[in-house]
Amino acid sequence: MDWGMKNRLARIIKPDGRTVMLAADHGYFLGPTSRLENPRKTLEPLIPYADAIMVTRGVVRTSIDPISNVPIVLRVSGGNSIIGEDLSNETITTSVKDAFRINASAVALSIYVGAKHEHQTLANLAKLVDEGEEYGMPVLAVTAVGKELGNQDARYLALACRIAAELGAKFVKTYYCDDFQKVADSCPVPLVVAGGKKLETERDVLQLVYDSVTNGAIGVDMGRNIWQNDHPVAMIKAVRAIVHDGARVDEALAIVEEAKVKEEV
């Protein structure tokens, strides 16, 4: 890896080999997602606790202070919507040149393995990796969800993650599942785990984070389970405690419980 590529990745993945990425790119196909209607308001208090933030260029330019030093993982795929015909029909929506203008630390795009537009999304990844390699920009591949995709199944996720790594993604975002260690063991690049839809309890979220990092993930790229919580700052602090400080679920949960008692966010 060239210096620039290594340096960008090192901004996201901390010296302990771990990362807490804050995902807030949902609007690119979901529009004004609940509690992310005003991205600046939602994200500002959380940014100091995020190792990186995953957003679109629209949110970067309108809602993140340019003097903020948070590394940007720029969502560069889209062209679909939740009410459209097929979520897998994605294209590259942002050039690598614009990613450099934004001073992104990585670019992210979704792949839809097993879906109608599988080939197109894998070709998007290959093209982005080619450009990324030329200029030193790491690519994060996101193993996307879809009605017909087995996003809880280790065999399916191992397939999607491995293909992403083979095509040159520098790291992969995927879902946690039973036998997750098998997904991690068969993927030669680091994995970060998505939170998915808001889980019932904070314990469930923190258990997911704990299970992810004890079964081979280097961290999380989590959105709704942080900023849809009534205590988002406490939640991200609790996630950090597990990912970076080796806290157990009960110890991390205490951070959230304390915030509830003190009525802090």
| Strand ranges for the chain from DSSP E | 19-23, 52-55, 72-75, 77-78, 91-92, 106-111, 139-143, 171-174, 191-194, 219-222
Q: What x/- string results for residues 194 through 233 when contact with ligand 5RP is judged by CB under 6 A?
A: xxx-------------------------xxxx--------
Q: Nearest distance from residue 75's CB to ligand 5RP, in Å?
A: 7
Member of 13, 104, 137, 142 binding ligand 5RP (CB under 6 A): 142
What does the alpha-carbon distance between residue 65 and residue 184 come to, in Å, rounded to a whole number?
35
- What is the torsion angle, in degrees rounded to the nearest 10, for the CA atoms of residue 73, residue 74, residue 76 and residue 80? 90
- Is 6 annotated in the active site? no
Q: Which C-beta is closer to ligand 5RP: that of 111 or that of 158?
A: 111
Q: Nearest distance from residue 35's CB to ligand 5RP, in Å?
A: 11
Give Cα separations from 178 to 117, 164, 175, 248 (angstroms): 27, 20, 10, 19
Phi/psi at 114 (5° precision): 90, 0
Q: Which C-beta is closer to ligand 5RP: that of 21 or that of 249?
A: 21
72 interacts with ligand 5RP by CB under 6 A: no
Residue 233 and residue 259 in contact, taking contact as beta carbons nearer than 8 Å: yes
Give the interface size with ligand 5RP as a residue count (CB under 6 A): 15
Q: Nearest distance from residue 261's CB to ligand 5RP, in Å?
A: 26
Q: Comparing C-alpha atoms, which of 195, 200, 203, 201 is closest to residue 254?
A: 203
Q: Nearest distance from residue 110's CB to ligand 5RP, in Å?
A: 5
What does the alpha-carbon distance between residue 80 and residue 259 come to, in Å, rounded to a whole number?
38
**Which of 6, 14, 97, 173 is the catalytic position?**
173
54 interacts with ligand 5RP by CB under 6 A: yes
Q: Which of the residues are catalytic?
A: 173
The residues that touch ligand 5RP, with contacts defined as CB under 6 A, are 23, 25-26, 54, 110, 142, 144-145, 194-196, 222-225
